[in-house]
Amino acid sequence: MSVSAVIVAAGSSKRMDNGVDKLSVIIEGRSLLDWTISRFEAVSDIDEIILVVRAESIESVREEVAGNEEFKKVIAVVAGGDQRQSSTENGVNATAEDTEIVLIHDGARPLVRAEDIDSVIQSTKENGAALLAARCKDTVKEVMDSKIIKTLSRDTLWLAQTPQGFRKTIIVDALKSARDDGYLGTDEASLVERMGVDISIVEGRSNNIKVTYPEDVEHIRSYLKRELMDA
């Protein structure tokens, strides 16, 4: 099956200090986005990579990709939309006509492991839809008006990550349905769930975090330093 990876990196980084573009932050000599792309380049089953970035960043990202001889699979850099869903849809629409499996990943998750990406691909091929997720280790409380309503069982709680994989026909239909209905989901899986499609869980790692706040960059930096030392 032909596999395309859509890396969504069109966010505003509004929770970073002083308007810093988190995807351009340099860690161990490479941008955060560069690290993320490299993870998908390393997976043999991925045939192509599509980057979705802010319109004003398209040229600089194209230059960054062109300047890295390691990047052989990036075939398109396209503009994102006003919402995450429209950005994802732009990326999916840019995949090859013969694409059968689409992986969707946050550009700000540079610690994902190649073997976990491969596991999501294999589960998607078998089941039609799959996502990487980590077991919930903390006790979770349902709260309303600053008061606890109940304690939720950790046995059934998972923290959704990316990549999330889908047969292309499934994610195309889910994105169209959401757009037609004016529905905004919290991730791509939530769009597919509302279509009644079962999604399989692939257990991932707790350090596959998404950079959102300035302190997250330091966590990423420490993990990557350790990874390079162990290489």
Tens-place pLDDT, residues 159-200: 999 999 999 999 999 999 999 999 999 999 999 999 999 999
Selection from 188, 210, 216, 198 nearest residue 92 by Cα: 188
pLDDT band at 129 (very low <50, low <70, confident <90, very high): very high
Q: What is the mean pLDDT of residues 201-208?
A: 95
Q: How many CB atoms lie within 10 A of CB 51?
A: 30
Domain positions in the chain are 3-230
Parallel/antiparallel/unpaired status of strands 30-31 and 140-144: unpaired
Selection from 97, 113, 143 nearest residue 36 by Cα: 113
Contact 50, 5 (CB under 8 A): yes
pLDDT at 15 over 60: no
CATH superfamily of 3-230: Spore Coat Polysaccharide Biosynthesis Protein SpsA; Chain A (3.90.550.10)
Residue with tokens 């349902």: 142
